[in-house]
């Protein structure tokens, strides 16, 4: 079995693979913890899922939170007896990086792109709704070109509420009309329809620059909610990042899960 971990600024997604099958997955808050806390946490997750730690034969992590990297890898090593691979642009990704500074690309963006090309081919646009909204662009010949980064839905909402004393916090749900007839509905309309429009405009501009259309795949916490409002998103793949981690592990380890 293979342990995969995607560490984001807001959430950490953990998965367990047996061969090509994703057996278990969890979405947790990204909190700075000690190696012992992380190790015990992982053992508890395995225990409640009736998975013996001895069955975990490999581990790989993608992370955009450097302070968590060492505790995670140390906790996995100490409690599971496994040296955990860490995704970087220097690894064998099976993907050409046509980016000016490949080491600057977030590990999650690389992982999404690897899985995206494997599952959907090229050209391809992957939209990830996390702390930031990122678009990753795969060229018609299957190379990683780069993309865009915009504030995420949650981040934008926090800025709005932090700067306005009288506005209430709202859930990230689309109201039935873009013309909100209450303060809550007005905020929801601005955030949800506004971000759907942002994604659509970025996708359409990308198509113009590529000179062709391609499949648009969304992932991340609010992916389905925005996909329902978008005219360009073709499908939602909630676990594309975990699949990318599995594929990269297979290319960079002599072991097997």
Helices (H) and strands (E) in the chain, counts: 7, 10
Q: The whole model's pTM is what?
A: 0.91
The answer to whether 128 and 109 are in contact (CB under 8 A) is yes
Mean pLDDT score across all residues of the chain: 92
61-65, 105-109, 156-160, 211-215: the lowest-pLDDT one: 156-160
59-73, 138-152, 164-178: the lowest-pLDDT one: 164-178
Q: For the chain, give percent helix, strand, coil, nearest 5.
A: 40, 25, 35
Contact residues for 21 (Cβ-Cβ < 8 A; gap 6+): none
pLDDT at 164 over 90: no
Mean predicted confidence (pLDDT) in 66-90: 95
Nearest to 37 by CA among 63, 19, 58, 12: 12
CA–CA dist 206, 212 (Å, integer):
9
Mean predicted confidence (pLDDT) in 249-254: 90
Mean predicted confidence (pLDDT) in 210-226: 95
10-24, 56-70, 150-164: the lowest-pLDDT one: 150-164
Check 108, 128, 136, 237 and give the catalytic one. Answer: 108
CA–CA dist 226, 255 (Å, integer):
39
pLDDT value, residue 256: 44
Residue 41: how many other CB atoms lie within 10 Å: 17
* Domains, the chain, ordered by start: 2-86 (3.30.420.40), 122-238 (3.30.420.40)
| 6-50 per-position pLDDT tens digit | 999 888 999 999 999 999 999 988 888 899 999 999 999 999 999
pLDDT value, residue 210: 96
Is residue 108 annotated as a catalytic residue, yes or no?
yes
| 121-135 per-position pLDDT tens digit | 999 999 999 989 999
Mean predicted confidence (pLDDT) in 216-242: 96
């Amino acid at each position: 079995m293979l342990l995969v971990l995607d560490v984001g600024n807001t959430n950490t997604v953990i998965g367990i693979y047996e061969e090509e099958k994703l057996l278990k997955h969890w979405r947790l808050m990204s909190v700075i913890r000690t190696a012992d806390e992380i190790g015990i946490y992982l053992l508890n997750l395995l225990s409640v899922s009736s998975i013996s730690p001895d069955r975990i034969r490999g581990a790989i992590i993608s992370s955009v939170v450097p302070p968590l990297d060492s505790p995670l890898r140390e906790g996995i090593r100490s409690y599971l007896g496994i040296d955990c691979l860490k995704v970087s642009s220097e690894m064998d990704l099976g993907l050409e990086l046509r980016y000016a500074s490949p080491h600057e690309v977030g590990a999650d963006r690389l992982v999404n792109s690897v899985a995206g090309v494997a599952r959907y081919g090229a050209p391809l646009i992957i939209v990830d709704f996390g702390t930031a909204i990122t678009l990753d662009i795969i060229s018609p010949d299957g190379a990683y070109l780069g993309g865009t980064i915009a504030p995420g839905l949650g981040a934008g909402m926090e800025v709005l509420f932090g700067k306005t004393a009288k506005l209430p916090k709202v859930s990230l749900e689309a109201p039935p009309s873009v013309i909100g007839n209450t303060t809550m509905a007005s905020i929801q309309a601005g955030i949800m329809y506004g971000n759907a429009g942002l994604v659509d405009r970025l996708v359409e501009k990308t198509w113009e620059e590529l000179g062709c259309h391609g499949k648009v795949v969304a992932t991340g916490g609010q992916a389905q909610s925005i996909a329902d409002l978008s005219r360009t998103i073709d499908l939602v793949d909630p676990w594309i990042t975990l699949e990318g981690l599995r594929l990269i592990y297979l290319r960079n380890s002599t072991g097997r899960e």
